[in-house]
């Protein structure tokens, strides 16, 4: 399995195992034989964030999860997954909501390729950067794609290639993963997002009595309307199709939060 395929597989496994959301989620069951990962809490200076008008911190917290065998095999280099949190929370809170490192340890025990996982903190004075290039909040687009990637490649045993870098996110982070991934294809070779905003829903003119019936697609609230169809964002699909990029679109039971 190639690095992009492996990164995408792990993204789907994590996203399917637990909801990446700003709420309490169920703790995953222990996986027999799971080995502990190493957790590094570091600070990365964001050159791209300097002189932002909001006065947001330029030195940003970053949480790094190193695979179980990282310290035991000093000559081996690893692919990297960059995961972007959503609005109103930071990286530390998100780790508790998506239950890392437990989820990562379980994924490796189930056969996922060992890799480095990076969670940069992009919370701002007004709760979120949208991972945009802004003189007001700071250029978080460049911070992720340039500052963070450069630091990780310099200080950790990575495979410094776009084919060995994945980008994922939930909600605001899903938007950031899509935006940054599309603008920096030279940096990231695999992308995944989980959120519900860029969708088109077709309302059922004759909804069932229970508006939250089991057939309702994930991410769609009740309110007396059920949905017959949910499709990925058309502009994104067309953009990817014209460039020969495959998109995997999956519906899972639940809502935006679970």
Residue 68's closest CA among 33, 43, 28? 33
HSE-up (13 A, CA, CB side) for residue 54: 18
Q: Residues 226, 162: one domain?
A: no
Task: Give, in order, the Cα–Cα distances in Å from 4 to each of 115, 189, 205.
Answer: 12, 6, 41
Q: Are 54 and 138 in contact (CB under 8 A)?
A: yes
Task: Give, in order, the Cα–Cα distances in Å from 79 to each of 4, 36, 89, 104, 240.
Answer: 9, 18, 26, 14, 23
Q: Which of 144, 168, 195 is the last residue of a domain?
A: 195
Q: Residues 81, 171: one domain?
A: yes
Question: Measured between alpha carbons, how far is 118 from 136 in angstroms, rounded to an integer?
Answer: 25
Q: Are 118 and 66 in contact (CB under 8 A)?
A: no
What's the domain count of the chain? 2
HSE-up (13 A, CA, CB side) for residue 65: 24
CATH code at position 89: 3.40.50.1820
Give 61's contacts (C-beta < 8 A, 6+ positions apart). 41, 42, 43, 90, 91, 92, 120, 121
The DSSP code for 163 is: G
Q: Residues 88, 179: one domain?
A: yes
Q: What is the pLDDT of residue 209?
A: 45
HSE-up (13 A, CA, CB side) for residue 255: 10
| Domain that residue 169 falls in | 3-195
Residue 107 phi, psi dihedral angles, 5° rounding? -65, -45
Q: Which of 195, 211, 241 is the last residue of a domain?
A: 195
Q: What is the pLDDT of residue 199?
A: 35
185: cis peptide before it, omega within 30°?
Answer: no
Encoded tokens for 147 = 């500052």
Q: In order along the chain (258 residues), what is the average pLDDT of each group of 10 residues?
A: 55 46 70 95 98 97 97 95 94 92 93 95 95 96 98 98 91 88 88 47 41 34 30 60 68 53
Q: What is the pLDDT of residue 123?
A: 96
Q: Which of 172, 195, 218 is the last residue of a domain?
A: 195
């Amino acid at each position: 399995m190639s690095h992009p395929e492996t990164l995408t597989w792990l993204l789907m496994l994590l996203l399917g195992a637990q909801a990446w959301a700003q709420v309490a989620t169920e703790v995953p069951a222990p996986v027999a034989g799971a080995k502990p990962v190493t957790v590094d809490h570091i600070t990365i200076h964001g050159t791209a964030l300097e002189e932002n008008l909001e006065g947001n911190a330029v030195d940003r917290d970053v949480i790094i999860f190193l695979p179980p065998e990282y310290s035991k095999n000093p000559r081996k280099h690893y692919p990297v997954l960059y995961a972007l949190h959503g609005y109103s929370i930071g990286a530390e809170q998100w780790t508790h909501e998506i239950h890392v490192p437990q989820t990562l340890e379980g994924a490796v025990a189930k056969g996922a390729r060992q890799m480095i996982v990076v969670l940069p903190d992009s919370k701002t004075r007004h709760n979120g950067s949208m991972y945009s290039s802004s003189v007001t909040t700071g250029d978080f687009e460049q911070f992720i794609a340039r500052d963070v990637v450069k630091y990780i490649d310099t200080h950790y045993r990575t495979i410094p290639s776009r084919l060995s870098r994945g980008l994922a996110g939930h909600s605001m982070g899903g938007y950031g993963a899509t935006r940054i991934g599309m603008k920096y294809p030279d940096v990231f070779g695999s992308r995944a997002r989980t959120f519900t905003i860029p969708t088109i829903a077709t309302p059922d003119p004759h909804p069932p009595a229970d508006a939250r019936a089991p057939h309702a697609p994930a991410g769609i609230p009740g309110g007396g309307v059920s949905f017959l169809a949910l499709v990925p964002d058309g502009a994104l699909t067309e953009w990817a199709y014209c460039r020969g990029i495959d998109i995997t679109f999956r519906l899972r039971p639940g809502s935006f939060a679970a």
